Structure 1
Amino acid sequence: MRLSTVILPVHRWSEGQQTWRRAEELGFHTAYTYDHLSWRTFRDGPWFGTVPTLTAAATVTTRLRLGTLVTSPNFRHPVPLAKDLMSLDDISGGRITLGVGAGGNGFDAVVLGQEPWTPRERADRFAEFVPLLDRLLTNPSVSHEGTHYSAQEARNIPGCVQRPRLPFAVAATGPRGMELAARHGQAWVTTGDPKIFETGTPADSRAAIAEQIERLGKACADLGRDSREMDKVLLTGFTPDRSAPLDSVDAFVDFAGRHLDLGITEIVIHWPIPDTEFAADPAVFERIAVEAPDQLRSR
């Protein structure tokens, strides 16, 4: 099992760069950041841009993979996004993963002045967004005339360092999203089942994730693909256990081991931010980063 982290872009780079360096020193597989213009309880505080942050992170690290968790169509268009991603992949020397999802309601959904999209419209846009982005990152020139997006001889030369393109980690739970993950994803991302976040138990959550993995397997089988070749990523902090797995190394190993048994191959934990929902003891967090992977490998 891989252990990764999410570093929210809430610090000026003079301070924030130390966190990205430390993530590499601690041996995390990937350090992701959220691709939002702002986010929930952080809306009225500092929040920096995703692409510049990842660009800067690429220049102060050498081994750590970097990525978004997740990018969505809420304020992104595939054509300029593809150019940014190709450039990030080049600057990082082929260390970028694109986490991509359909998005949801909230600040990002209306900041450009549009009316909030219905769940159906979000799914429709996502179903066009991902395949077009795939084409843009795989081909030197792409033209497309769709329902929601257009491209006229959009150039992406010389293409990604990673071939045929940088990997997609597709966040999905519904049937259309699962099909997109199965068709275009090198990885699949879940946060668990949001319907049981408040009232469910950890056992309920694991059962829901197991059922999601089963549906992903069926979506892959329908396309003639073996789902075992896909990484399965759990972004923590949104299951009924909330922050409990970060209480101690033993608590995390138990949590991670139970999800490893379900088929999860990568667990992502939030870098601690004091006085927020992602508060945690930094010393325990660092011990988890260093000690937990070895303990999980020996299970």
Structure 2
Amino acid sequence: MRLSTVILPIHRWHEQGREVWQRAEALGFHAAYTYDHLSWRTFRDRTWFGAVPTLTAAAAVTDTVRLGTLVTSPNFRHPVTLAKDLMTLDDVSGGRVVLGIGAGGTGFDATVLGQEPWTARERADRFGEFVALLDRLLTQGAVTERGTYYAAEEARNIPGCVQQPRLPFAVAATGPRGLALAARYGQAWVTTGDPALFEAGTPTQSRAAIRRQIERLGEACAAVGRDPEELERILLTGFTPDRNTPLESVDAFVDFAGQHAELGITEIVLHHPIPDSDFAVDPKVFERIATEGLAQLAG
């Protein structure tokens, strides 16, 4: 089991941002991620910075912690420009970047460029084309392609990623088309559980849903002749019925992590504490979980 954190891009770099990311490394987290949105939910009218510049700054002041997005989507990204940014970020970080990527939703990012919100089918169509083109852009020196939604004309990404053949993709998916993309292109798979259970479900129902998701991921891997054990299975916490339960105490975390490890989850991601928000947990407990949780789980 690996333990990671997600740091929302809300901190002014020279006031608190640098220290937050460096502290995440010092606490021993496997990875420190950030959300790739232009605004998000209750933070819409609060400070919110860009994901790629934030990760680039974090890369410059850390040495070992992996860095990434949870998650990037086609809502306001284009594969050609994103590939260039990712290649550069992988170089700056010395090969520590992982791209969390998903189909996107219907929130603020879905209309910020002036477009009508895409249907679920169109999001899935775009996501499939997006991931396939991004894979080519990050593994080939020059790419020309014209798809239904995205095109590239002699797009160059030289010298390529530090991580070869490219930086890893962590594909967020629960439906059959997304799981097929994870099986084909992913080095990891991301879930937040079953959204339908968030308000009225139970922890037991949530674990059963995650078990079914992992089974379907295995079926998607079998369909392309891939061993599902090749993929890390990441749970982003905070969106299951037990919400902040794993951050109530070290014991609560160990119980939560152990139950999900039994399902096949290999990495758990905890939100870094944010006062006056849904992620307002005790920073001291958070740090104890970071430093003691996995050891206690292993014991």
**What is the aligned partner in structure 2 of residue 288 from structure 1?**
289
Residue 183, structure 1, aligned to residue 173, structure 2: no
CA drift of 1:55 comes to 0.3
**What is the aligned partner in structure 1 of residue 5 from structure 2?**
5
Output the amino acid matched with 2:296. Answer: Q
Query: Aligned partners of 2:26, 2:128: CA distance in 1, in Å?
Result: 38
3-state SS of paired residue (1:74): coil
Computed over aligned residues only, the root mean square deviation of the Cα atoms, in angstroms, reads 0.4
Unaligned regions of 5+ residues in structure 1, if any? none
Residue 33, structure 1, aligned to residue 65, structure 2: no
Task: Map 1:214-293 onto structure 2 (within 5 A).
Answer: 214-293=215-294
CA drift of 1:244 comes to 1.2
Task: Map 1:11-160 onto structure 2 (within 5 A).
Answer: 11-14=11-14, 15-160=16-161
**What is the aligned partner in structure 1 of residue 166 from structure 2?**
165
CA drift of 1:109 comes to 0.2
Query: Aligned partners of 1:254, 1:104: CA distance in 2, in Å?
Result: 31
Deviations 1:112-131 (A, max 9, x none): 00000000000000010001
Query: Aligned partners of 1:250, 1:236: CA distance in 2, in Å?
Result: 16
Deviations 1:198-238 (A, max 9, x none): 11000000000000000000000011101011100000000
Query: Aligned partners of 2:244, 2:184: CA distance in 1, in Å?
Result: 33
Query: Aligned partners of 1:163, 1:86: CA distance in 2, in Å?
Result: 11
CA drift of 1:297 comes to 2.2
3-state SS of paired residue (2:60): helix
3-state SS of paired residue (1:203): helix
Deviations 1:8-29 (A, max 9, x none): 0101001111000000000000
3-state SS of paired residue (1:153): strand
Query: Aligned partners of 2:231, 2:54: CA distance in 1, in Å?
Result: 27
Output the amino acid matched with 2:276. Answer: D
Deviations 1:29-79 (A, max 9, x none): 000000000100000000001110000000010001000000000000000
Query: Aligned partners of 2:296, 2:155: CA distance in 1, in Å?
Result: 48
Output the amino acid matched with 2:265. Answer: I
Deviations 1:138-167 (A, max 9, x none): 000001100000000100000000000000
Q: TM-score, normalised by structure 1?
A: 0.99
CA drift of 1:106 comes to 1.0
**What is the aligned partner in structure 2 of residue 174 from structure 1?**
175
Runs of 4+ in 1 over 6 A off after TM superposition: none
Identity %: 75
Task: Map 1:186-205 onto structure 2 (within 5 A).
Answer: 186-205=187-206
CA drift of 1:134 comes to 0.4
Q: How many residues align?
A: 298
Query: Aligned partners of 2:234, 2:215: CA distance in 1, in Å?
Result: 14
Query: Aligned partners of 1:190, 1:297: CA distance in 2, in Å?
Result: 23
Query: Aligned partners of 1:296, 1:223: CA distance in 2, in Å?
Result: 34
Output the amino acid matched with 2:275. Answer: P
CA drift of 1:296 comes to 1.9
Deviations 1:252-294 (A, max 9, x none): 0000000000000000000000010011000000000000111
Query: Aligned partners of 1:133, 1:34: CA distance in 2, in Å?
Result: 19
Query: Aligned partners of 1:59, 1:19: CA distance in 2, in Å?
Result: 13
3-state SS of paired residue (2:289): helix
Output the amino acid matched with 1:7. Answer: I
Query: Aligned partners of 1:87, 1:294: CA distance in 2, in Å?
Result: 35
Query: Aligned partners of 2:85, 2:292: CA distance in 1, in Å?
Result: 35
Query: Aligned partners of 2:241, 2:125: CA distance in 1, in Å?
Result: 30
3-state SS of paired residue (1:221): helix
Output the amino acid matched with 2:10. Answer: V
Output the amino acid matched with 1:101. Answer: G
Query: Aligned partners of 2:34, 2:90: CA distance in 1, in Å?
Result: 15
